[in-house]
Copies of this chain bind each other. A is one copy, B any other.
Amino acid sequence: MHNYDEYKGIAEHHLLDYLPQVDAKARTIYDSMKYSVMSGGKRLRPVLLLAACEYAGGETAEALPYACAIEYIHTYSLIHDDLPAMDNDDLRRGNPTNHKIYGEAVAILAGDGLLNTAFETLFRNLTYYFDDPKKLKRHISAALIIAKAAGVNGMIAGQLADVENECRECSIELVDFIDENKTGALLKAPILAGLILAGADEPTILHFASYAECIGKAFQVSDDILDVVGTEKELGKTIGKDSAQGKANYALVNGIEAAEKELHRLTVLAKEALEEACGDTSFFEELADQLEKRRS
């Protein structure tokens, strides 16, 4: 197993590999997609995918298209989320958002282009396994998991509920629904997809599903805390937006102290979920601790 920065390095080294070259007449679509894909970030989703695949004995080369596809999907969701009609954000990872550079029309198309490219990459990847039925099935299952998590019973459902409930009192149940879908779905999917690509057994997948659900919730709670107490410089994005827009935010609904307690509880639960998993799970336990302590 590598460490976080090594997996991140591998993912970043290959992030442009699956962005197709385009005709000069549509060059801007490539430039705008590349701008957002290469504008930094933690690369948490590809790291989780590569680590899960290696943990279960899979090959990194097989996992790369999935690692990149899930980062494209995450990036498209940020581009659309930042649009004036959505969160209306000028700043992302310390840089101007896509529509501030390329305009709204191109930003909408860049998001569409990244989502399409993610799935085009995965369909093309399947054609390389025509002669290996066992691996082909694993790859199809992994791709389906990512597509479901990104869809209208996953991330898009969370986005919808988030957008629709601005400026309203949010119940804890609704905050949970938004967190589970908007953030949790696309953190769980890379872990499960990585395991499935490597042919992990059912008990392993179940242990890691519990782990993923806990760190997904923890990640959103810490996001909510940072939106209240973080600094713009550390985060590279506009803060205090949840409060200004009346967004669902665990720390705003329950207070900072309760949020920090919940974050710790979820981190402990995540680590406990791996106690019965075979092999060396230390990467994932350390990651849960790092996510609890993160300041950006």
| Chain A interface residues toward B at CB < 8 A | 20, 22-23, 25-26, 28-30, 33, 76, 80, 83-86, 103-106, 108-109, 111-113, 115-117, 119-120, 122-124, 126-127, 130, 133, 136-137, 140-141, 143-144, 147-148, 150-153, 156-161, 163-164, 174, 177, 181
Query: What is the bound-complex CA distance between A256 and B133, given in angstroms?
Result: 55
Chain B residues, Cβ within 8 Å of A160: 26, 28-29, 106, 109
Residue pair A156, B116 in contact (C-beta under 8 Å): yes
Contact of A163 among B109, B133, B148, B174 (CB under 8 A): B109
Complex CA–CA separation, A163 to B109 (angstroms):
10
Q: Which of B119, B137, B141, B164 contacts A28 (CB 8 A)?
A: B164
Minimum CB–CB distance for A152 against chain B, Å: 5
Dominant secondary structure of chain A at its interface with chain B: helix
Give the docked Cα–Cα distance between A120 and B106 (Å): 25
Can you name 19 A-B residue pairings with CB atoms under 8 Å?
Answer: A22-B153, A22-B157, A25-B157, A26-B156, A26-B160, A80-B112, A83-B85, A105-B163, A106-B160, A109-B163, A112-B112, A116-B156, A120-B148, A123-B143, A123-B147, A127-B140, A130-B137, A130-B140, A133-B133
Decide yes or no: A120 and B151 within 8 Å by CB, A159-B109, A160-B106 being known contacts.
yes
Q: Which residues of B contact A140 (CB under 8 A)?
A: 123, 126-127, 130
Contacts of A122 in B (CB 8 A): 123
Query: CB distance A104 to B85 under 8 Å?
Result: yes
List the 6 closest pairs (A to B, CB-CB), nearest first.
Answer: A85-B104, A26-B157, A120-B147, A119-B119, A123-B144, A116-B151
